[in-house]
Amino acid sequence: MPPHLFLHFDINETILVGDVAGGDTLEDCLNKIIAKCAFVSSSSPSVDARDNVVVDRRCRRRSRDDTVAYANENDDDVDDIDAVRGGRGDFSDDFAPVRWWDGTPLTMPDGVGGGGSIRGVVGIDVDLDVNVVVGDDDVGRRHRPNRDDCDLGEEYYVPPPPPPSSSSSSPPPPLYTGWTWPRGTRPYYRTRYKDAAKRFTNRDHHGSIYRPVYDALHSRLLPSRGVRTGGEEGGGGDGRDYDDCHVTPFDDFVPAFFHALVHYFPSEAGGDARRDDDDDDDDPSSRKRRLPRPRSTTLVLRTFGSDLHRVADCVTKFARGEHPSFPNYRNRDLIFGEGDIVNGRWTNTTVEGRRGSTRDGEGVGDGHDGDDEDEEEYEERDKKGEGIGGIDEGGGRLVYELHHQLDDDLFRRRYSGDDEVLNFLESRTVVGILDDYEFWRDNNQAPWSGKPIWSRRMAGGKSRTGGNDAGGGGGGGGGVEGICGGGDEGDDCRRRRRRRRRCPIRHDHHHILLDDNIHNDPNDGIGAVRAPIPVEATDETNDDNCREYDVITRTTTTTTTTTATTRSSASYVSLRGNDLLKMHGKHLIRVPTLRPLLEDDWFVRRIEDARWRIFLEEEEEEKEEEEKEEEEEVVKWSQERLIDGKLKRVALETLQSALLPNNSKLQIRFTVVDSSSSSSSVHGEKEESQGKNKMKLSACDRDATVIRSQLEPLSTPQLRKRLEQSFVWKARGIPASPERLASLLAELEAIPWPRTTRERPKIRAEHYMILQRPGSGKSDSARTRKETAKLTRYRNLFDSAVEAMAEIDSTFAERFTALAVTKNFVGSPHIDTLNVGPFYGLSL
């Protein structure tokens, strides 16, 4: 069954165009959206010289060579140095572009398309593994995108051709929305012209060639607004003035957002929730990789700004059918109520006096607490690339909290720690969170200090399995050091670690954050992915041979919640570095707002792609776990047989070391000494059934026409998922009238259950009886007379059920033959050989 899906949508410039808190109007945001996708290049030697200095997140300076070494050692997914260095526009004052990324000179409108300039051709391979960019010698080259292929589909948007009245004779350079920047380029928004980005497409600006794109976005965004022509320059900057009056509260919302809500929160009214003239067929390519619907979905609105209440109100109106494009849509799950909007904040509990409160002037991880020893430790950690994958800044215990805030600034209810926050989110279908902007700002906009989401995948892996790996026992305090106290780990330690890895995770969920402020930069972003580290409450954690989790509490900043009922605890750590970048496309989705503005199904396609990635990842992990369990069973089997055969333990260890590393099947021939006979030859095999040896068929020996041959190669988890996808079917019920339900409930409560007979003892129910419709059996039989007498006693109950059924399906109400009445019924999967017709069910 798919896990509970949490869709965390950022508000400003993700689903809402405009930023009141940031002082950006709708026109400013549209221009910025285009400027972030318009890539430029510079070949000025002076700029290259100045660009040789890289500024890290603690306001220090280090050379370009050091940064390249850092990227090569710890961040293979970052293809370009531009993605490793400053991601917030640190080089805006230094980077002076002179051309567009395809080689076209960067000139004002009068010069665009003139002077005999020949623009290179920009394209994309059909193979998604390699993009081919052809153009100017310095720009055009084959470059490798992020190897996770996070941005599936087209990464380029080709603008429409200029109008006939334009001085340009050819379309502008394509806009780029991919995850990895083409080498030697950067968005116009991250250059020295960043301040002009809010007027990017206006007249007399570099981006005026993209004015048709602006018009296309504006028309998609505001279908209910009119465009009037005027002679004065303003508004659009091209002689047109846009009416800024909101006709509906949905005018400045990205349309793809509401299409995503319809997809994951189907209308309760049934039928098409959209207008009759709104044709929104899914892309055929997206149907090829469709997973079952999540068992439940929660919408979480995330923002640092002041639009949360307004957006929540618009979602509520949308759920009540007030959106002009979705007049038939109804879903009570999307109606915000009291207690659904909360404040989120990070709090820090210091350890050994290090770091202060998250609310004071020197936030956690800002690098200015005056502790020289700590500063040297962080600098050494940066040079070695340590601390990636599970390190929150500072040395304290970082806790994320949600709380309801009253007017007098008092906390009415607080959910503190990852488990409490997750329990709160799981109890809601809609949540609005005003996140902790001050903490994120004071910590240099580091991802770990931003908006947290949670992963089921445990923090760990190869980067923590030895003392010599990044963050290992010999490092300078980063990562999880010394999983087994350093050095080579023993067999007992490996088995314990595998057992802990298989510990059940309490929360079955999949969180996805969609935000425009997610970047291919481990030091700049807004998404904090929290990964669990389950620890069993046993003496194993105190074993001297395996102290992996004893060390965590003093080297990482974690949040720990202990549950008395389960006798276990789960610590969460924030991923960093390469581990964090790998979450893009799975838990983090960067939103180039241009795309969802132009494509109604963009959000749905990206969310489904993320679900598919997690599904394949977990399927592969289950397969690996099964192989490990098979290997352990082989070892256990061989131990029993060899010990019974009086062979020495040294022979067992020799066989283990020789066979298991090569994944060989263990087939041993040995002699067992028996007291009743001298000796006998015994053959041992891995697969043994009731004393008879069983030969496992290979692929060439199987009969493809037999169903067993088709299913035998599949593992048990694969078969289980296949059955769920093929046979599990869920549907929303049709509500009956409250008056009928009240009458029916009164009749049910009046039944004298203790004196009745449980008529189907094999069904899991406290009580069970069947009322036959008159005329459904033989009129003169004893059974019919008995059924008639029982129906007479419960006639009011039967009539009430028929009336309730008639409201939903009048034809079925006239034709059904029997009514089953139960108390405390529990689902009992079985094959019913008698009742093979359709059923209606009602639970009160």
Cα distances (angstroms) measured from residue 70 to each of 52, 75, 374, 443, 475: 15, 7, 20, 21, 16
Containing 791, the helix (H) or strand (E) segment is helix 782-793
The Cα–Cα gap between 367 and 370 comes to: 8
Q: Does residue 775 register a pLDDT over 70?
A: yes
pLDDT score at 342:
93
Give dist(CA 572, CA 194) in Å, integer: 38
Residue with the bigger pLDDT between 641 and 840: it is 840
Out of 30-44, 112-126, 701-715, 717-731, pick the least confident: 112-126
Highest mean pLDDT among 276-280, 379-383, 647-651, 709-713: 709-713
CA–CA separation, 363 vs 113, rounded Å? 50
Rounded to a whole number of angstroms, the distance between the first and last alpha carbons of the chain is 26
Of 348-352, 556-560, 574-578, minimum mean pLDDT range = 556-560
Closest CA to 764 of 822, 826, 830, 823: 826
Of 210-214, 230-234, 509-513, 525-529, least confident by mean pLDDT is 230-234
Judged against a pLDDT cut of 60, whether residue 101 lies above it is answered with yes
User: Is 0.75 topped by the overall pTM?
Assistant: no
- Over the stretch 492-537, which tens digit does the pLDDT of each residue have? 444 444 444 444 446 688 999 999 999 988 888 999 999 887 544 3
Residue 735 pLDDT more than 70?
yes
**Mean pLDDT on 594-619:** 90
pLDDT bracket for residue 222 (50, 70, 90): low
Distance CA 247, CA 800 (A): 48
* Mean pLDDT within 684-698: 50
Of 650-659, 727-736, 786-795, which range is least confident?
650-659
Confidence check: pLDDT of 132 > 60? no
Sequence-distant (≥ 6) Cβ neighbours of residue 339 within 8 angstroms? 404, 413
pLDDT for res 513:
96
Give the pLDDT score at 321.
92
Query: How confident is the model over 330-336, as a mean pLDDT?
Result: 94
Sign of CA dihedral 745, 747, 752, 754: negative
Residues in the chain: 844
**Rounded to whole angstroms, how far apart are CA atoms 92 and 86?**
10
Residue 31 has pLDDT above 80, yes or no: yes
- The mean pLDDT value for 606-610 works out to 92
| 94-108, 346-360, 485-499, 654-668: least confidently modelled range | 485-499
Element of type H or E holding 348: strand 341-349
The reported pLDDT for the residue numbered 758 is 72
Q: Is 6's pLDDT higher than 90?
A: yes
Residue with the bigger pLDDT between 377 and 191: it is: 191
Q: Determine the pLDDT at residue 163.
A: 61
DSSP codes of every residue in 295-310: S-EEEEEEESSS-HHH
What pLDDT score does 730 carry? 73
Instruction: Of 110-114, 313-317, 329-333, 431-435, give the lowest mean pLDDT range.
Output: 110-114
pLDDT number for residue 528: 92
pLDDT given for residue 283 in this prediction: 45
> What does 504-554 look like in DSSP terms, one character per residue?
PPS--EEEEEEETT--S-TTS-SEEEEEEEEEESSGGGG-TT--HHHHHHH
* CB contact set of 196 (below 8 Å; sequence gap of 6+): 205, 206
pLDDT at 125 over 90: no
| Distances, alpha carbon 371 to alpha carbons 54, 355, 368, 489, 818, in Å | 24, 9, 8, 35, 79
Tokens of 29: 């945001």
- Structure confidence at residue 553 (pLDDT): 32
Pairing of strands 175-176, 451-454: unpaired
Residue 7 banded pLDDT, cuts 50, 70, 90: very high
**Secondary structure (3-state) at 582:** coil
Using one digit for the tens of pLDDT, what is the confidence trace for 373-385? 333 443 444 444 3
Banded model confidence at residue 478, pLDDT cuts 50, 70, 90: very low
134-177 per-position pLDDT tens digit = 233 333 333 333 333 333 345 666 666 666 555 555 678 888 88
Residue 291 has pLDDT above 60, yes or no: yes
Contact present, 129 and 149 (Cβ < 8 Å): yes
Point out the least confidently predicted range of 385-389, 397-401, 675-679, 816-820. 385-389
Q: Quick check: 237 pLDDT over 50? A: no
561 touches 417 (CB < 8 A) = yes
* Sequence-distant (≥ 6) Cβ neighbours of residue 283 within 8 angstroms: 601, 605
Whether 246 has a pLDDT exceeding 70, the answer reads no
3-state secondary structure of 627: helix
Residue 672 has what pLDDT?
A: 46
Kindly list the distances between the CA atom of residue 623 and the CA atoms of 310, 617, 619, 620, 707, in Å, as whole numbers in the listed order: 47, 10, 6, 5, 22
pLDDT of the residue at 110: 47
Task: Return the higher-pLDDT residue of 96 and 4.
Answer: 4
In the block, tokens 């896990």 appear at 3
The whole-angstrom separation of Cα 158 and Cα 176 is 9
Assign residue 381 a region: left if phi > 0, alpha if psi is -120 to 50, beta otherwise? alpha
Q: How far apart are CA 300 and CA 8, in angstroms?
A: 5
Mean confidence (pLDDT) of the chain: 67
Q: Could you give the CA distance from residue 776 to residue 740 in angstroms, rounded to a whole number?
A: 25
State which amino acid sits at residue 446.
A
Please say if the pLDDT value at position 604 is more than 90. yes
- pLDDT band per the 50, 70, 90 thresholds, residue 640: low
What dihedral angle (degrees, nearest 10) is formed by the CA atoms of 191, 596, 204, 99? 40
Higher local confidence (pLDDT), 144 or 649: 649
Decide: helix, strand or coil at residue 665: coil
Cα 756 to its chain centre, rounded Å, is 51
Distance of alpha carbon 559 from alpha carbon 648, whole angstroms: 48
Binning pLDDT at 50, 70 and 90, where does residue 754 land?
low
Residue 66: CB partners within 8 Å, gap ≥ 6?
54, 383
| Phi, psi dihedrals of residue 682, rounded to the nearest 5° | -125, 135
